[in-house]
Amino acid sequence: MSLLSFVNKKLRGSAGQSLAKKKKVKPKQTVAKKAELSVKPAGLLALGIDLQLSLTEKGVRLQEQNVVTFRVVASASKGQIARAIEERYGTKPRHIRTVPVKARRRRRGNTSGTTAAWKKAYVKVDDVHSFNGGV
C-alpha cells in the first residue's frame, strides 16, 4: 500500500470520498456576469470620463486666457472630453489640447509601485466663470 492511498484511507469523509476527490471546482463565469463586472462606478459620467478640475498655479494663469485644465483618464479622447464638458457644465468647448502624463515609480519603505497614468486636458471656452473655481 502506498503512502498516498494509506492517507486517503485514513482521512475519508462520511461520504467515502478521498482527499483528491474533494477539490472544489469554480464554475466558469457566464456572459451575463461579465457584463455586470463592467459596470462603471457611480462617480463617473455616462461617458465613463471623470472630469476633475485642476487648479494649479499654471491653470489659474491660463484662466485669464479662458483656458480651463482638467485631469481625465488616460484613455479619454478629445471628443469624449468635449461631450463630457457639455453634459456637466453646459458650455461647448472651443478647443481642446491633451497631454498624457506617464505613470511614475514610487516607493514607500520596502514597498514599491507605480502611480496611475492620466491625461491633462487644456480646454478653451467662451466663459470661464461657468466652471466651479473660475476666476
Q: Which three cell numbers stand for residue 104?
A: 511614475
* Secondary structure of residue 21 in the 3-state scheme: helix
Q: Which long-range contacts (CB under 8 A, 24 or more apart) does 3-6 make?
A: none
- Phi and psi angles of residue 133, each rounded to the nearest 5 degrees, phi first: 85, 10
pLDDT for 41 beyond 70: no
pLDDT for 29-38, tens place per residue?
555 554 454 4
In the chain, the domains with their CATH numbers are 52-105+113-130 (3.30.70.330)
Bridge partners of residue 99, in order along the sequence: 120
pLDDT for 53-90, tens place per residue?
998 999 999 999 999 999 999 999 999 999 999 999 98
pLDDT for 76-135, tens place per residue?
999 999 999 999 998 999 999 999 999 999 999 999 999 999 999 999 999 888 876 544
Nearest Cα neighbor of 91 from 135, 122, 59, 126 is 126
